[in-house]
Amino acid sequence: MNANSPLRTRSATIAALLCLGLGLAAAGTPPQVATCSACHGGNGMGNPLANFPPLAGQPAHYLEQQLTAFKAGTRQSSIMQGMAASLSASEAKAIADYYAALPVPPAPEPSPAPTGLGATIALDGLNPGTPKAVPACAACHGAGGLGQGEAFPRIAGLPAGYIERQFSAWKTGTRHETTLHLMRNIADKLDSTQIDAVASYYAALSPNPSVAKAAPSAAKSGSQG
Ligand code: HEC
Ligand code: HEC
């Protein structure tokens, strides 16, 4: 083995890069996180009873944009505006990266799966082909509401009261969307009964259903599609 082989040099570079990345989660926890934890939890999973949303595992870009929006006042929250006001752009990015990298504790999906109006709106949408058409939430937020890419946040397991508050914020214009202007349109087409139903649906879903997949199914029913 040649100590100066290109392979070794490259491994050393990769190791150094990994250290930089891991440093965020380990040694370099942003100092502000101690404050954020009071409401968003030490594990970043929020507080459902108080309607404090989880931040763990959300797309880093999404979280960063929300902090920017709170600071600019384009997303209004008396609590969060104060929290974001003093953050520099690089601090907001470091905090967003930190929370995006936190693991989401696994939990099984509810069984039986929730049905009714909320499930219909989530999975099929409403009034297809009419001016009042509402696309299925799953089309953007992914199967099970687990989110997609950097633009579409996870909505499975968000507190129902928090989801309802976001819909009224879009309707009244106190939450302006950042890059894509999709939720305002959708919010305008849903009435409060429909919003309550879809909020309860997503609040009931697991934010990380990986355990359900791993669960042993010794007695296969054979009726799976
Ligand atoms: C006193 C409680 C409290 C503290 C402390 C707090 N937050 Fe929040 N946070 C909230 C509430 C309440 C909301 C929801 C606001 C709304 O309804 O729009 C929120 C929302 C957010 C969101 C938007 C989440 C989403 O899914 O869109 C982000 C990001 C966030 N907080 C980050 C932080 C960070 C980073 C800190 C620390 C610097 C922090 N928060 C400190 C209460 C708090
Ligand atoms: C066409 C794509 C699209 C569809 C369909 C869609 N959303 Fe969204 N949704 C988005 C985007 C993009 C955002 C992020 C907005 C932002 O940047 O502020 C978002 C954000 C959200 C949030 C805020 C999450 C948070 O953590 O604050 C909730 C809640 C939500 N959507 C619920 C729904 C529900 C419920 C439906 C179905 C009725 C739905 N969405 C349908 C694109 C979509």
| Ligand 1 site, residue 60, Cβ cutoff 6 A | no
* Contact residues of ligand 2, CB 6 A cut-off: 53, 65, 121, 134-135, 137, 139-141, 151-153, 155, 158, 163, 166, 177-178, 180, 182-183, 186, 198
- Alpha-carbon distance 104 to 141, whole Å? 17
Strand partners, 175: 75
- Alpha-carbon distance 144 to 138, whole Å? 7
Residues 88, 162 within the same domain: no
**What is the distance in angstroms between the CA of the first residue and the CA of the last residue of the chain?**
53
Residues 29, 92 within the same domain: yes
Place of tokens 């504790």: 105
Domain that residue 197 falls in: 117-209
Domain-embedded: residue 153: yes
pLDDT digits (tens, 9 = 90+) for 3-62: 444 444 454 444 444 444 444 444 579 999 999 999 999 999 999 999 999 999 999 999
pLDDT digits (tens, 9 = 90+) for 137-165: 999 999 999 999 999 999 999 999 999 99
- Alpha-carbon distance 51 to 46, whole Å? 8
Domain-embedded: residue 81: yes
User: Which residue out of 45, 154, 155 has the highest number of ligand 2 atoms within 8 Å of its CB and is therefore the one to mutate?
Assistant: 155
pTM of the model: 0.87
Of 217 and 106, more confident: 106
Per the structure, the count of domains in the chain is 2
Of 169 and 23, more confident: 169
Give the pLDDT band of residue 219 (cuts 50, 70, 90).
very low
Domain-embedded: residue 85: yes
Residues 141, 89 within the same domain: no
- Alpha-carbon distance 19 to 15, whole Å? 6
Residues 87, 37 within the same domain: yes
Give SS3 for 212. helix
pLDDT at site 25: 45
Averaged pLDDT score across all residues of the chain: 87
Domain-embedded: residue 10: no
CATH number reported for the structural domain that contains residue 31 in this entry: 1.10.760.10
| Ligand 1 site, residue 100, Cβ cutoff 6 A | no
